[in-house]
Copies of this chain bind each other. A is one copy, B any other.
């Protein structure tokens, strides 16, 4: 049984992760309806003016502005209505001086006319319309290209696609779009006590929890989890599995709870790859490993479910999001008062799960072997090294789990 030689700080561990993962370079084409939430692989240059034509910004009458000179409530200009300009088609007739056409919002401006008067400033009498206002040239006309000018680079490689950007692509006629592939993440469980669901538990066995929680976190952060099953807890089996790391963009293995299991995995990574850190100054989750095999980053997560899930949020999420080229996770933080005095001594940075009740934080007090400490938590707070007491009523910053 080997203790850790030295623990890596939270900050240093994050640096090592972020400087040792590489952004994905493969792409795929997806239909526009699946583009939201993905990352653009291509620059988007506007192929034609949007809107493609001058259009009316109002319902009213398209006319020659000069015909309305000195128009007012008392002395309206009187024009002859020669037709209707609907949206979706184009009025082809020539509109002479003294003439106008009824026009709908969004409809193209017919040739020749140079302004639109809002229907509110007019009154019709048969095929005549009184315009109670002088209208300036260009009034209520949204020019072609007002939204996007032909040739402009409206979206760039690497942008995260939002519903608004899907709208831009739709406006430009895209049926599909090139996006970066989602990182493929191999997820392994190990530990002699770990049994798959769907069979009776033998003596001393518990069900596999971590591959499910890790996979859920991976999916929420732009990755594709590939659950590779439970690896027999011996050196050769672990080596055999981990050897295929380079099939994936990232590998996550959660170990058994015992030091023995943990060491097997570290020894394998040491032999066929490189350990970048092993043992982090955080609680829970000290026995976390990060390394590389054939260029593929690999995480060894603690076996205890709460530790494993906590470190999936803390370490795996930022690493995976960098590979996936996603923006950093945007969790909501709130400041609330502590609902009770709390004391927790540690020489490690502590992640403490809390519930929020009536605007106050209450610790979800559980052991790191318990999955339910995460199940019923609303979020977590961080207790830095050197701080061990929070007084009742003291303000604390809580990062919320829910999205």
Contacts and interface: CB of A to CB of B under 8 A. Distances in A.
B164 A213 contact: yes
Interface residues of A, number: 101
A369 B57 CA distance: 8
Interface string A164-196: 111111111111000000000000000111100
A54 to B, nearest CB: 11
A19 interface: no
Contact of A369 (B142, B210, B257, B331): B142
A98 to B, nearest CB: 23
A27 interface: no
Contact of A206 (B52, B89, B331): B52
Contacts of A327: 402
A51 B368 CA distance: 13
A367 B57 contact: yes
A53 interface: yes
Given A50-B206, A209-B171, A212-B33, A164 B88 contact: no
Nearest to A374: B164
Contact of A146 (B166, B304, B330, B370): B370
Contact of A375 (B51, B154, B304): B154
A198 B172 CA distance: 10
A18 interface: no
Contacts of A206: 50-52, 106, 171
Contacts of A374: 163-164, 167
B197 A173 contact: yes
Contact of A106 (B197, B369, B371, B402): B369
A40 to B, nearest CB: 12
Given A36-B219, A87-B257, A192-B87, A375 B164 contact: yes
The CB with the most chain B CB atoms within 10 A, among A194, A201, A369, is that of: A369
A90 B201 CA distance: 12
A168 to B, nearest CB: 5
Interface in A12-44: 32-33, 35-37
A279 B403 CA distance: 31
A108 interface: yes
Interface string A299-338: 0000111000100100000000000000100111000000
Contacts of A246: none
A244 B389 CA distance: 61
Nearest to A333: B332
A403 B402 CA distance: 11
A205 interface: yes
Interface of A: 1, 32-33, 35-37, 48, 50-53, 55, 57, 59, 86-90, 104-108, 119, 142, 146-148, 154-155, 160, 162-175, 191-194, 197-198, 201-210, 212-213, 215-217, 219-220, 225, 227, 233, 256-261, 303-305, 309, 312, 327, 330-332, 366-367, 369-372, 374-377, 400-403
6 contacts: A52-B205, A87-B258, A105-B258, A142-B369, A146-B367, A171-B305
